[in-house]
Amino acid sequence: MDELPGALGTSASLALRLGQTVFSSASLLFMCLDVEFYSYTAFCYLVTVMGLVIPWSMTLLVVDAYSVFIRCLPRQPRIMLVIVVGDLILSFLLLAAASSTASVTDLLLEAGGFYCPERLCSRYQLSATMAFLSWFLSLASSLFNLWLLPSL
Amino acid sequence: MDELPGALGTSASLALRLGQTVFSSASLLFMCLDVEFYSYTAFCYLVTVMGLVIPWSMTLLVVDAYSVFIRCLPRQPRIMLVIVVGDLILSFLLLAAASSTASVTDLLLEAGGFYCPERLCSRYQLSATMAFLSWFLSLASSLFNLWLLPSL
């Protein structure tokens, strides 16, 4: 089952899912360490999207871990299609959230220290960076599984 | 050659490309009617992305129009691959630009009339809406052509 690295059930896929889970959780954590984020629509959107991405990544992480360490699971075309479409939709949501957060943080930084103290703003920047990384990994997972789809 | 509506060379593709060109140009126009946009990174980014998207859409619009009205062009797998990848990359750039613009406009609106007079802000909102529409059409083109790709 290791014909294509990155497809569901391989160790590369396990690494991708692990990265997604870690980066999304880190992004959520950096955003939520204080409750300031309620003031800005873009930050609320990021938190909402992360609330969707983290359970999705963790579920697939568990599936991959089971498939790698315990027993190879059969791949069914329908389930793969659901995973590909879900990954694509989530990666679009992640990209939108990450770029919104980055641009709003940039604007707040330019406006000076009144709206956003130095310490807080760098935390928002970190959060946006983590969201971008999570988007990249999610897109990679989706493309690898899409590549596998016609051969099923 | 009309087996799949939306693939390169069909009239549906012509309509999609026409929509992309119109919406991108409208978005650029609404953003650039005054030179205020230089103050904000997100708006500059939108203008840059539109400067990439408009030539791309217009080129493919001409190809589609030639293919529909004059003479059916042969589809080569390599050229289709370039078109699919280009559309995908541009649609990601468009989504990032549209969501950045939307979130910055939202923040400016909340900050009140000092940063952004009523008339200007509604123009930015229109620009972001047009960019979202253009993203949607670009993604649709990309997916239709991607669907066609394995059969070539």
What is the predicted pLDDT for the residue at A51? Answer: 92
Confirm or reject contact between A135 and chain B (CB < 8 A): no
Q: Are A61 and A146 in contact (CB under 8 A)?
A: no
A128, containing H or E segment: helix A118-148
Confirm or reject contact between A93 and chain B (CB < 8 A): no
For residues B92-113, average pLDDT: 86
Residues 6+ apart with CB under 8 A from A5: A11, A12, A13, A144
What is the predicted pLDDT for the residue at A1? Answer: 45
What is the predicted pLDDT for the residue at A113? Answer: 61
Cα–Cα distance, B78 to B59 (Å, whole number): 17
Q: Are B103 and A42 in contact (CB under 8 A)?
A: yes
DSSP A8: T
Cα–Cα distance, B82 to B135 (Å, whole number): 18
> In chain B, positions 9-38, which contact chain A (CB-CB < 8 Å)?
none
pLDDT above 50 (res B1): no
For residues A102-128, average pLDDT: 80
Confirm or reject contact between A150 and chain B (CB < 8 A): yes
Per-residue pLDDT tens digits for B28-62: 998 888 766 677 888 889 999 999 999 999 999 99
Cα–Cα distance, B16 to B14 (Å, whole number): 5
Which ipTM score applies to this complex?
0.81
Whose CA is closest to B83, among B61, B50, B111?
Answer: B61
> In chain A, positions 49-78, which contact chain B (CB-CB < 8 Å)?
none
Residue A104: how many CB atoms within 10 A of its CB? 25
Residues 6+ apart with CB under 8 A from A121: A105, A108, A109
Q: How close A95 comes to chain B (CA, Å)?
A: 6
Q: How close B67 comes to chain A (CA, Å)?
A: 29
For residues A13-41, average pLDDT: 86
CA angle B53, B54, B60 (to 5 degrees): 90
For residues B93-111, average pLDDT: 88
Mark yes or no for CB contact A42/B97 under 8 Å. Answer: no
Give the start-end residues of each E strand in chain A: none
> What mean pLDDT, rounded, does chain B reach?
86
Cα–Cα distance, B47 to B89 (Å, whole number): 16
Looking at per-residue pLDDT, the higher value among B7 and A54 belongs to A54
Per-residue pLDDT tens digits for A36-82: 667 788 888 999 999 999 999 999 999 999 988 888 878 888 888 99
> Could you say which of B40, B99, B150 has the minimum Cβ distance to residue A107?
B40
For residues B78-104, average pLDDT: 91
Which stretch of A8-17, A111-120, A136-145, B129-138 has the lowest confidence by average pLDDT? A111-120
Q: Are A119 and A72 in contact (CB under 8 A)?
A: no
In B, which residues are within 8 Å of A148 by CB distance? none
Domain ranges of chain A: 11-139
What is the predicted pLDDT for the residue at A22? Answer: 95
B115 falls in which pLDDT band (50, 70, 90)?
A: low
In B, which residues are within 8 Å of A95 by CB distance? 92, 95-96, 99
A95 falls in which pLDDT band (50, 70, 90)?
A: very high
Cα–Cα distance, A137 to A53 (Å, whole number): 12
> Could you say which of A41, A42, A106 has the minimum Cβ distance to residue B41?
A106
Mark yes or no for CB contact B96/A99 under 8 Å. Answer: yes
pTM above 0.90, yes or no: no
Q: How close A122 comes to chain B (CA, Å)?
A: 17
Q: Are B7 and B142 in contact (CB under 8 A)?
A: no
**C-alpha of B12 from chain center:** 16
> Could you say which of A92, A98, A107 has the minimum Cβ distance to residue B107?
A107
A106 falls in which pLDDT band (50, 70, 90)?
A: confident
> Could you say which of A40, A99, A150 has the minimum Cβ distance to residue B99?
A99
Confirm or reject contact between A151 and chain B (CB < 8 A): no
SS3 annotation, chain B? CCCCCCCCCCHHHHHHHHHHHHHHHHHHHHHHCCHHHHHCHHHHHHHHHHHHHHHHHHHHHHHHHHHHHCCCCCCCHHHHHHHHHHHHHHHHHHHHHHHHHHHHHHHHHHHCCCCCCHHHHHHHHHHHHHHHHHHHHHHHHHHHHHHHHHHC
Whose CA is closest to B8, among B58, B79, B56, B70?
Answer: B79
A114 falls in which pLDDT band (50, 70, 90)?
A: low
pLDDT above 90 (res A86): yes
Mark yes or no for CB contact B95/A96 under 8 Å. Answer: yes
pLDDT above 70 (res B2): no
> What mean pLDDT, rounded, does chain A reach?
86
